[in-house]
């Protein structure tokens, strides 16, 4: 999946330092700006680096294996919120590699997918084709949903990362676009940091930080002429009232061009309180926002539902 397009965007948005190492040159690539100041184009560059490398190291999986994975359990919970008799069209606007999108299609929903990462969109198209499905996947930032898909065309928009908006501008533009793209009475189903009630962002960040390893080193994988190792380092990072868990997905890549490190630093903000998000959604035109707890095989999953 690495392609010239990603390379160009990557070079434009990332600092490059060349370090001498005994084995040759190591190119260290990183984002210049603080995560809370990124716009959707810059966020796209971060996700492209992530998905480009995740594509190279992915495990091939059958639909049954996907159904038995985290994505399958997630969709089992999600469909409990959908009424198959009433729901006609669903947009998965955080489609990534398209696993949840495929599972929704397999359950009979009329579903399309989109993502800000062109690398992820290409990968989702390829993976669904191999599974024998046909799904319309489009490159689309949340703020462009109504332009790309049209106004008033979805019964449901699903977003599993709305609270990963890095700043208020991004959240507000996304909320407005989702509102326009939904049919009257349509719903936005989204996942948030603090759901249904306000929580202290620092406490939430600490809980999130301790819920997974602080550091992990995996690989090597050898694919398409590249050898890759992945180091993930997670930290609590803040600037003013902007608080997030920042996960530095660091890929050490050895290929015919030499050795380099590519870093996708992905922020999972915890500063979005329930009051703040529900107010912004109401200002964007949504009539109501509520939280729903859905029992699953692996405990309760919480979703937020905002109705147009």
Ligand X SMILES: C[S@@+](CC[C@H](N)C(=O)[O-])C[C@H]1O[C@@H](n2cnc3c(N)ncnc32)[C@H](O)[C@@H]1O
Positions that interact with ligand X (CB under 6 A): 40, 43, 47, 71, 94-96, 99-100, 115-117, 120, 141-142, 160-161, 164
Min dist. Cβ of residue 238 to ligand X (A): 20
Residue placing its CB nearer to ligand X in the complex, 115 or 122: 115
Residue placing its CB nearer to ligand X in the complex, 164 or 190: 164
Cα–Cα distance for residue pair 1/182, rounded to 1 Å: 32
Min dist. Cβ of residue 26 to ligand X (A): 27
Q: Which residue is nearest to ligand X (CB)?
A: 96
Min dist. Cβ of residue 137 to ligand X (A): 11
Residue placing its CB nearer to ligand X in the complex, 141 or 254: 141
Residue placing its CB nearer to ligand X in the complex, 26 or 57: 57
Identify which of 269, 124, 114 has the alpha carbon closest to the alpha carbon of residue 191.
Answer: 269
Cα–Cα distance for residue pair 174/154, rounded to 1 Å: 15
Neighbour-count burial for 135-154, b at 16+ CB within 10 Å, e otherwise? bebbbbbbbbbbeebeeebb
Residue placing its CB nearer to ligand X in the complex, 95 or 306: 95
Min dist. Cβ of residue 13 to ligand X (A): 15
Min dist. Cβ of residue 224 to ligand X (A): 21
């Amino acid at each position: 999946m690495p392609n010239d397009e990603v390379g160009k965007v990557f070079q434009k948005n990332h600092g490059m330092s060349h370090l001498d190492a005994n084995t040759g040159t190591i190119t260290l690539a990183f984002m210049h700006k603080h995560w809370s100041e990124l716009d959707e184009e810059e966020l796209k560059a971060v996700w492209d680096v992530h998905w480009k490398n995740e594509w190279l190291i992915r495990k091939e999986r059958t639909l049954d294996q996907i159904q038995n994975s985290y994505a399958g359990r997630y969709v089992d919970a999600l469909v409990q919120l959908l009424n198959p008799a009433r729901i006609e069209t669903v947009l998965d606007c955080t489609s990534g590699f398209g696993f949840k999108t495929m599972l929704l299609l397999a359950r009979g929903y009329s579903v399309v997918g989109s993502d800000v990462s062109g690398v992820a969109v290409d990968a989702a198209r390829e993976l669904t084709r191999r599974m024998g499905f046909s799904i319309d996947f489009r490159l689309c930032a949340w703020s462009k949903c109504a332009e790309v898909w049209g106004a008033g065309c979805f019964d449901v928009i699903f977003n599993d990362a709305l609270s990963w908006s890095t700043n208020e501008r991004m959240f507000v533009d996304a909320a407005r676009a989702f509102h326009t793209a939904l049919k009257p009475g349509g719903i936005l189903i989204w996942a948030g940091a603090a759901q249904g009630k306000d929580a202290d962002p620092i406490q939430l960040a600490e809980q999130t930080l301790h819920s997974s390893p602080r550091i992990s080193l995996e690989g090597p994988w050898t694919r398409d002429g590249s050898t890759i190792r992945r180091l993930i380092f997670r930290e609590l990072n803040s600037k003013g009232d902007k608080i997030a868990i920042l996960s530095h997905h660091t890929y050490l890549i050895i290929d015919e061009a030499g050795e380099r490190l590519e870093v996708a630093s992905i922020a999972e903000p915890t500063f979005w309180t329930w009051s703040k998000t529900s107010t912004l959604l109401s200002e964007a035109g949504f009539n109501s926002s509520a939280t729903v707890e859905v029992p699953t095989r692996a405990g309760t999953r919480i979703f937020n539902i905002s109705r147009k």
